[in-house]
Amino acid sequence: MRSFIISLVLASCFFAAQAQKTYLYCGQLIDVEHLKVLKEKTIVVEGNKIVEVLDGYTKAGSNDKTVDLKNSTVMPGLMDMHVHVENETSPNRYLDGFTQNDVDVAYGALRLVERDLMAGFTSVRDLGGSGVNIALRKAIQKGYVVGPRIYTAGKSIATTGGHADPTNNYRKDLMGDPGPKEGVINGPEDAYKAVRQRYKEGSDVIKITASGGVLSMSANGENPQFTEEEVRAIVSAAKDYGFKVAAHCHGVEAMKRAIRGGVSSIEHGTLMDESVFPLMKQYGTYLVPTIIAGRSAADSAKIPGYYPPMVTKKALEIGPRIQATFAKAYKAGVKIAFGTDAGVYAHGKNWIEFRYMVEGGMPILETIQAATWNAADLMGTQALLGSIEKNKLADIVAVPGDLTKNIELMGQVNFVMKDGVVYKSK
């Protein structure tokens, strides 16, 4: 009987603790769906969910917690739709592939993802790595390590010699002939096998390198590298498994093939012109601009020896052009989702993309919408993320002062909550 009573008391304590709520008092709250700033609101969080959004500053219960954000601008947790959680730019990047084991990559990645979270990015879409990205996602989900919610592509899919062919520019005896298992395809049959392999390994999204790239060891940074038939095969296979497809792309012809093939987003879109805008709008394809990556790569390329000569040339030619392309695409009415290519520059500085988007002509509130409402739409997660509403996950961030008057405040995130847990509070 005594043990039963003890169990009952412990259970009561447990459920009482579970019932504790957190009241967030928000001076300014961004309604990202309608692009409005709401004044004096209270967000009530229980467990990992938002249970109420109330007018005024509602009094909390005696056992509840309160967070005073009356002098801050509050918004949903930010979502970066293009990161690489496994690495960060370095002059040794091309050597690291031969000297680091997966465990080395994993330990290095821990500090990178924590930086992203502390900068306010509670969810990220990882678009390609070695497979450590999948393990890291699982570790964060289980609470073993601190980081954002990760949706990952696992290994990107390329064609032979393409931007994500892992053996580009190797010695012939090391080059081999990688295939679908390694993320390299040639033809529709390979495409199906590569997508199914990503599903088997635990990916959440599919990433293809539809054109040449800047940082890969290949001469052309913009040429089309998939046939339209191959893209269609990848998208068809992806739909079978509930995947969306993101397409790395710099050149116009590669973009057109990818869009017509059914991809959900064009990443970078550097050389996009007026012939592409109508196609993007017709198919509802998102542009994920990654302006900071282009500018950062161009800056790094000016440092002698930072990149191999082949990469330096491409970085100087292509990198600086992304911001102007973004400005034209936005003006043309192309859908924009926030993404930075973190890893090409230092993780944790993702917020600088907001500055560059504003410089490109996008109003401040729309940049926040791109990193919340639009990003969740692109990911297919609007039911749970992307806005502060009842029954959505409690991913909430804040910056001091009035964000509508100064986009630089995005670099001063003073509150971060993910899944109802506070990771940063100043």
Which structural domain range is residue 56 located in? 19-76+388-425
Same domain, yes or no: 347 and 206? yes
Residue 201 forms part of a structural domain? yes
Q: Which is higher by pLDDT, 222 or 145? A: 145
Residue 82 forms part of a structural domain? yes
Show the beta-strand stretches assigned E in 7-96. Answer: 21-31, 36-46, 49-55, 65-76, 78-83
Residue 354 forms part of a structural domain? yes
Q: What is the pLDDT of residue 123?
A: 98
Average pLDDT over the chain, rounded to an integer: 92
Confidence band (pLDDT; 50, 70, 90) for 70?
A: very high
Same domain, yes or no: 107 and 242? yes
What is the edge-to-edge ordering of all strands in the sheet holding 265-268? Answer: 206-209, 245-249, 265-268, 286-288
Cα of first residue to Cα of last residue in the chain, in angstroms, is 48
SS3 366: helix
Confidence band (pLDDT; 50, 70, 90) for 41?
A: very high
Same domain, yes or no: 163 and 59? no
Partners of 121 in beta bridges:
78
Residue 314 forms part of a structural domain? yes
Q: What is the pLDDT of residue 175?
A: 73
CA atoms of 21 and 209, how far apart (whole Å): 45
| Token digits of residue 136 | 């890291």
Same domain, yes or no: 370 and 356? yes
Judge contact between 23 and 7, C-beta under 8 A: no
Is 271 a residue whose pLDDT tops 60? yes
Residue 14 forms part of a structural domain? no
CATH number at residue 149: 3.20.20.140
Number of domains in the chain: 2
Same domain, yes or no: 319 and 265? yes
Q: Of 263, 236, 266, 235, nearest to 252 (Cα)?
A: 266
Same domain, yes or no: 54 and 98? no
Q: What is the mean pLDDT of residues 366-374?
A: 98
Number of H-type helices and E-type strands within the chain:
15, 16
36-46 and 49-55 beta bridge pairing: antiparallel
For 209-248, write each residue's pLDDT tens digit: 999 888 776 767 688 999 999 999 999 999 999 999 999 9
Is 157 a residue whose pLDDT tops 90? yes
Same domain, yes or no: 224 and 249? yes
Residue 39 has what DSSP assignment? E
Q: What is the pLDDT of residue 15?
A: 46
Residue 57: burial class (beta carbons within 10 Å; 0-12, 13-18, 19+): middle
Q: What is the mean pLDDT of residues 72-100?
A: 90
Q: What is the pLDDT of residue 161?
A: 82
Give the helix ranges, DSSP H, for 61-121.
Answer: 93-99, 102-118
Q: What is the mean pLDDT of residues 67-81?
A: 98
For 87-104, write each residue's pLDDT tens digit: 998 888 777 777 888 999
Show the beta-strand stretches assigned E in 228-283. Answer: 245-249, 265-268
- Lowest-confidence range among 98-102, 113-117, 277-281, 331-335? 98-102
Same domain, yes or no: 58 and 125? no
CA atoms of 318 and 271, how far apart (whole Å): 8
Is 407 a residue whose pLDDT tops 90? yes
Residue 7 forms part of a structural domain? no
Q: What is the mean pLDDT of residues 39-57?
A: 98
Same domain, yes or no: 142 and 268? yes
pTM: 0.93
Residue 405 forms part of a structural domain? yes
Same domain, yes or no: 145 and 209? yes
Same domain, yes or no: 339 and 409? no
CA atoms of 319 and 165, how far apart (whole Å): 21
Residue 317 forms part of a structural domain? yes
Same domain, yes or no: 170 and 231? yes
Judge contact between 353 and 296, C-beta under 8 A: no
CATH number at residue 48: 2.30.40.10
